[in-house]
Structure 1
Amino acid sequence: MRLIGGLLGLMLMMPLMASAEEIGSVSTVFKLVGPNDRIVVEAFDDPKVEGVTCYLSRAKTGGMKGGLGLAEDRAEASIACRQTGPISFKGELKDGEEVFKERTSLVFKTMQVVRFLDKKRNTLVYLVYSDRLIEGSPQNAVTAIPILPWPQG
């Protein structure tokens, strides 16, 4: 019964997480068999903040394992978030709230983006990092967006 409750809870949370759209990629290592290693640029809109888009760049491992979804991607990622329209909030924001999450290995490793609200400076702060079930990584990147009026035009 707990398992069913947990699964239902996860399913309810899923719509609150953004999904990424691939903008482009570049090949970094040629692989004779399977796809090449590459750096991928993806974009996602913050699901609770209208008018904010984040761009991630990260490595994706190719080869046989990468092609089958069995490879573990590197922990490094870069993030840049920008105001792309008038900013409005869809509900209450929680500090450290997860806005994006993607699996970067078969089971144990994920890349996450969390959001903080710096009320003193009226700024949204986004942090990307990678974690692993047993041991996380200190690799991270941060970006910030001042909450400004959007020009009418």
Structure 2
Amino acid sequence: MISQAVGKRDKRWRNLALAVSALTFWQACPAAAADEPDLIFRRSTVFKWMSPNDKLATYGVDDPQVEGVACHFTVPEKGGFKGWIGLAEEVSDISLACRQIGPIRFKDKLEQGDDMFRKRRSLFFKKMQIVRGCDAKRNVLVYMVYSDKLIEGSPKNSTSSVPIMPWGTADSAVQKCGEFIQ
């Protein structure tokens, strides 16, 4: 009788461990989005006596599907011992600015609200996402950054838009983003 109870308990723990492992793997899988962002700089915001400080970090990332567009975002990074070993859950305050940095060329058809970039913001459940859309009427790419959790998301977000303009004198033909949205 006792061995059956222990066996059921072990089976539950094993199932829980498998579920956590699967969830961790799912969270760690890269999105069909941009590579790792480039760290531009960090600034300390809160001094910690015996562990790393809280910081603001600014990153740059190129849109993997739209050549000629780059986004920069600033995120808070928790210090302390939990932040140091990667166990701190980061807050959802993220700012975003996207700009045209060259002639815009669409590499493929896109969907409204596609992930352009995704990054984990806590050990298991929270991630930051930059999504892309097209305002076809104005020929403007629109980028939104937000943070979500498996159970509940955050209404905190930031939006940036990139009007598609001619670039240089040789490039007179401007692509229309509406032609590349499915």
Question: Do both proteins adopt the same fold according to a TM-score greater than 0.5, normalized to the shorter chain?
Answer: yes
Q: Could you list the per-position Cα deviations for residues 71-116 of structure 1 after superposition, in whole angstroms to 9, with x for gaps in the alignment?
A: 0111010000010000000100110000111111110101100000
Would you say 1:94 and 2:149 are equivalent positions? no
Structure showing greater radius of gyration is: 2
* 75, 85, 90: which one aligns with 1:68: 85
Would you say 1:139 and 2:156 are equivalent positions? yes
Q: Contact 1:131–1:137 at 8 Å: present in 2 too?
A: yes
Change (3 A) 1:51 1:143: same
Q: Could you list the per-position Cα deviations for residues 99-141 of structure 1 after superposition, in whole angstroms to 9, with x for gaps in the alignment?
A: 1111111101011000001111100000000000101000000
What is the count of residue pairs matched by the alignment?
A: 144
Alpha-carbon distance between aligned partners in 2 of 1:14 and 1:135, rounded to the nearest angstrom: 20
Identity %: 48
Which TM-score applies when normalising by structure 2?
0.75
Q: Contact 1:128–1:142 at 8 Å: present in 2 too?
A: yes
| 5+ long unaligned stretches in structure 1 | 1-6
Q: Contact 1:50–1:89 at 8 Å: present in 2 too?
A: yes
Shift of 1:151: 1.4
Which TM-score applies when normalising by structure 1?
0.89
Q: Contact 1:93–1:117 at 8 Å: present in 2 too?
A: no
Q: Contact 1:34–1:66 at 8 Å: present in 2 too?
A: no
Shift of 1:14: 4.5
Would you say 1:55 and 2:72 are equivalent positions? yes
Q: Contact 2:31–2:115 at 8 Å: present in 1 too?
A: no
The equivalent of 1:77 in structure 2 is 94
The equivalent of 2:60 in structure 1 is 43
Give the secondary structure class of the aligned counterpart of 1:67.
Answer: helix
* 117, 121, 144: which one aligns with 2:138: 121
| 5+ long unaligned stretches in structure 2 | 1-24, 171-182
Give the secondary structure class of the aligned counterpart of 1:65.
Answer: helix
Shift of 1:15: 5.6
